[in-house]
Amino acid sequence: MTTSSVATEAAAVAAPVFSPKDFKSSLKPIWCPGCGDFGVLQGIYRALAAIGRPSHEIAFISGIGCSSRIPGYTTAYGFNSVHGRALPIAQGLKLANPDLLVLVAGGDGDGFSIGGGHVAHAIRRNQDLTYLVMDNQIYGLTKGQLSPTSRKGLHTVTSAYGSLENPVNPLMYVMGYGAAFVAQGTPADIPGLAAMIEEAIRFPGFAFVNIQSPCVTYGEPDQQIKVHKKVMKRLEDLGHDSSDRVQAFDRAQSYGSELLTGVFFRDPDPPPTYGSLIRARKQELMASAPRREDILDMFVQD
């Protein structure tokens, strides 16, 4: 046996193997029975196990809402932040500790209403974050108000006569800002969702996954998991080319009329991440920086 093969075998033996339960905290979820977020959480556990990094190397940042409870249900570091402000906090954390695997969890209200302005800047900076949005087309935690992705005409406690507003299309929204990885899933297909989240985490840059996660209490009857299982269509079965941004835009227009799952767009030539650009700039400036012991001399007057 050669030296290289021995080293490879030793590394394989030493590499830790994780299971989904390793990322499950002792805190019990308090979502309504049947909530789609239970399935999303299982998909996250499976994805993290496949990634193979220990909990202390992972951080979950969230805003406010039903889905934003997710950090507490994992064994990773977690921070339940201010409504709509999860993305800027996650960006700060990633800059402070680039080695952390940083994931962001939120809902359609948290991400596309009060926090909508942060999405564009997270995308244009292209920090290495994975943004998981649980899109249930309603404000569930605060008792069923109209949300940014609610369909036009929907009757809610804040639109008693039917909504007059056109809904936000999350998929076109983020692609319009130039996101390099855009996907959509549903807890009706947990294996597919887990694989999608894993792929998003492994993508080198900002990755967005819109998850159609039904609200059983305030959501519409035709937007529940049993219905999702019947109507969902996998992009891979449709012959979709995820490297084609134009085709991705075209398919994304179906949001609200049909449920397409899978990776809509994955840039075949991902742009450099913000973190890599920061490190390159630091090395460039350090090359011409004075020696540490000479710095005080710069302030000494003759």
What are the pLDDT digits (tens) for 47-59? 999 999 999 999 9
Q: What's this model's pTM, rounded to 2 decimal places?
A: 0.91
Q: Which residue has the tokens 């800027």?
A: 88
Q: Are strands 181-185 and 207-212 parallel, antiparallel or unpaired?
A: parallel
**Percentage of the chain lying above the pLDDT 90 cut:** 86
Quick one: pLDDT at residue 4?
Answer: 61
Q: Does the domain made of 16-269 have the CATH classification 3.40.228.10? A: no
Tokens linked to 188 = 């009706």
Quick one: pLDDT at residue 222?
Answer: 84
Name the E strands within the chain: 58-62, 77-80, 101-107, 129-135, 181-185, 207-212, 233-234, 260-266
What are the domain boundaries of the chain? 16-269
Q: Which amino acid is at 220?
A: E
Instruction: Please give the distance of CA 55 from its chain centroid, rounded to a whole number.
Output: 17
**Got the DSSP string for 132-172?**
EEEE-SSBTTTTSB--TTPPTT--BTTBTT---SPPP-HHH
The DSSP H or E segment spanning 274 is: helix 274-287
Quick one: pLDDT at residue 213?
Answer: 95
Quick one: pLDDT at residue 271?
Answer: 95
pLDDT in tens, 168-204: 999 999 999 999 999 999 999 999 999 999 999 999 9
Rounded average pLDDT over 141-158: 93
Instruction: State how far the Cα of 52 lies from the Cα of 19, in Å rounded to an integer.
Output: 9
Q: Which of 215, 30, 9, 201 is nearest to 102 (CA)?
A: 201
Q: Residue 6's pLDDT band (boundaries 50, 70, 90)?
A: low
